[in-house]
Amino acid sequence: MISLEAIDNAKHIVILTSNDSFADASALYTHILRLHKKVSIVSEPQTVKSAFSFLPWFDKLRNNIPSSADLIIDLNLEKESLYKLFKINNISLNKKMATALYAGLLKRFNGFSGNDVDGIVFALVSELINQGADYKLCNKFIANRVTLSTLRLKAIMLSNMILTDTSKTAQFIITDDDLKSSGADMSEAYEIIKEALNLPYVERAILQNSNNEVLKLINKEI
């Protein structure tokens, strides 16, 4: 759990992030800057995708943890909602923070189209928009984003897809050469196999490597 007291007492805070947590990291980075604290945002090389390049501080990403850091916050391990933390502690949001938090929700809930979306999620979305979240910008870069690399990989994967178990299972095999030739990465492959769940009768999608090892298994939500 993020300790606001620890942040107040630290001199140099490092935020560890990845593609899944960068939106929240952007919001937290802004908050720490407002406290006039030194802050760095760190991820492994190329783990945060360019889909988030429109968010504040994307250009501040670095690959190493500074030696002067006296507090490290690993957002990849955080389970509590950052927005909830801000709200409970009466921390006001500016436009940058609201936009970043909205982007995080948009990605997490797959464009708000999944079965796990409920009234609570939409209430949070409404609050963030009222606090200045640029939802149109987020939708443009995340929900409606299509890249050439994704299209190339999708063509490869769909041409090799087979249906098994009386068409209940869509099976995909991906190789390193597929990724290299398309310029895509594995996270894009995970998103592509989800589309097979829209086919009639398909109940699950499986992604395997060339050794037939299962990389990802997705079941259709009922």
C-alpha 125/C-alpha 9 separation (Å) is: 32
C-alpha 42/C-alpha 198 separation (Å) is: 37
Same domain, 9 and 81: yes
Among residues 109, 143, 177, the one where a domain terminates is 143
Tokens 């050794």, residue located: 211
- pLDDT under 50: residue ranges of the chain: none
The pLDDT assigned to 145 comes to: 63
What does the block give as tokens for 131?
């606090």
Q: Which of 158, 145, 151 is nearest to 184 (CA)?
A: 151
Same domain, 133 and 182: no
Tokens 């079941």, residue located: 219
Same domain, 35 and 127: yes
Among residues 117, 143, 169, the one where a domain terminates is 143
The pLDDT assigned to 144 comes to: 63
C-alpha 158/C-alpha 172 separation (Å) is: 8
- Is residue 137 within 8 Å of residue 54, measured between CB atoms? yes
H-helix or E-strand spanning residue 65 = none
The pLDDT assigned to 114 comes to: 66
Same domain, 186 and 201: yes
The pLDDT assigned to 185 comes to: 84
Among residues 143, 171, 188, the one where a domain terminates is 143
The pLDDT assigned to 110 comes to: 76
The pLDDT assigned to 112 comes to: 81
CATH code, domain with 202: 3.10.310.30
Q: Which domain holds residue 132?
A: 4-143
